């Protein structure tokens, strides 16, 4: 009897795998579909609870608990957790000091929150069965619009109407202005879009590649299927790196945009 049950389990697994294979063939994006767990509607606004929302709660509580625990029992000779927190804080401070200078430290809470949230979202998405929240363009677009809107508000608040000078690169001769201003305007408007799409596309593409490779190893069988499967191991390693780099890039570009609004044409104006 036990043998019968075991083979039944294997048959069940095969059925599951075939189902996955067929779904991957139909659309490689099907792992990113979200289904409402608890449908909630607030005045026509859909605020249902689904997997992405739950994972976001997990990420937020994980980061908060980790940082509070690391900071609650501070010692001169830090333990493991405190060292980790210190390295992260030092890393984020380094980014801010390099791109914005000393007065950028006012934005440390915002930048640190963005970095840790994106980093943990990216990393948690690598656990099988979990969900990458940053593979939803809604999430990344909200972050990008927030950052870009903040840089605009900050620029107009600090420099007034002179902030429009950001559309004129320093040292442009007058006759080039009709050409340079539209180009600069387009490059400014492309900033939030590229910021959002970069993170979203990186996260989505990594998981699609993994999904396609797993599909290949299932349909390849034992004879040749181990090859794409071995490749997924390497891809997973690359994905961990990408998760870090993308969180880092997002943070650096946030700092650069905010720094542009701060200093308007580089550090020389800031020096006086």
Partner 1 sequence: MDSAAAALLGMGLAAAGFAGAGVGIGYIFGKMIEAVARQPEAEARVGKYMWIGFALVEAIALYGLVIAFIIMGLRK
Give residues in contact with partner 1 (CB under 8 A). 27, 29, 194, 197-198, 200-202, 204-205, 208, 242, 245-246, 248-249, 252
Which residues lie across from 45 on neighbouring strands?
42
Supply the minimum distance, in Å, between the C-beta of residue 28 and partner 1. Answer: 9
Supply the minimum distance, in Å, between the C-beta of residue 25 and partner 1. Answer: 13
- Which of 38/87 has CB closer to partner 1? 87
User: What dihedral do alpha carbons 212, 214, 218, 221 form, nearest 10°?
Assistant: 100
Look up residue 1 and give its two tokens. Answer: 């009897």
- Which of 75/90 has CB closer to partner 1? 90
Question: Would you give the distance in Å from CA 221 to the centre of its chain?
Answer: 35
Dist. CA 37–CA 6, nearest whole Å:
32
Supply the minimum distance, in Å, between the C-beta of residue 245 and partner 1. Answer: 5
- Which of 62/249 has CB closer to partner 1? 249
- Which of 27/61 has CB closer to partner 1? 27
158: helix, strand or coil: helix
- Which of 159/198 has CB closer to partner 1? 198
Dist. CA 180–CA 140, nearest whole Å:
29
List phi, psi (to 5°) of 49: -90, 125
Supply the minimum distance, in Å, between the C-beta of residue 205 and partner 1. Answer: 5
List phi, psi (to 5°) of 129: 90, -10
């Amino acid at each position: 009897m036990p043998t019968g049950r075991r083979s039944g389990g294997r048959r069940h697994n095969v059925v599951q795998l075939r189902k996955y294979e067929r779904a991957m063939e139909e659309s490689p994006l099907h792992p990113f579909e979200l289904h409402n767990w608890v449908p909630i509607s607030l005045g026509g606004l859909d605020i249902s609870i689904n997997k992405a929302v739950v994972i976001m709660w997990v990420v937020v509580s994980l980061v908060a608990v980790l940082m509070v625990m690391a900071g609650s029992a501070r010692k001169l000779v830090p333990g493991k957790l405190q060292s980790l927190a210190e390295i992260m804080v030092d890393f984020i401070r380094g980014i801010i000091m390099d791109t914005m200078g000393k007065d950028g430290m006012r934005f440390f809470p915002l930048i640190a929150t963005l970095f840790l949230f994106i980093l943990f979202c990216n990393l948690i998405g690598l656990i099988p069965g979990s969900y990458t929240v940053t593979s939803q363009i809604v999430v990344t677009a909200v972050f990008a619009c927030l950052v870009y809107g903040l840089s605009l508000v900050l620029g107009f608040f600090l420099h007034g109407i002179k902030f429009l000078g950001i559309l004129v690169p320093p040292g442009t001769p007058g006759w080039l202005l009709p050409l340079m201003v539209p180009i600069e305007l387009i490059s400014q408007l492309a900033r939030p879009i590229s910021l959002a799409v970069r993170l979203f596309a990186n996260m989505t593409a990594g998981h699609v590649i993994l999904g396609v490779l797993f599909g290949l190893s299932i349909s390849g069988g034992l004879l040749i299927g181990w090859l794409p499967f071995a490749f997924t191991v390497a891809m997973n390693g690359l994905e961990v790196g990408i998760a870090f780099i993308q969180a880092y890039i997002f943070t650096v570009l946030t700092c650069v945009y905010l720094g542009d609004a701060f200093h308007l044409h580089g550090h020389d104006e800031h020096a006086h």
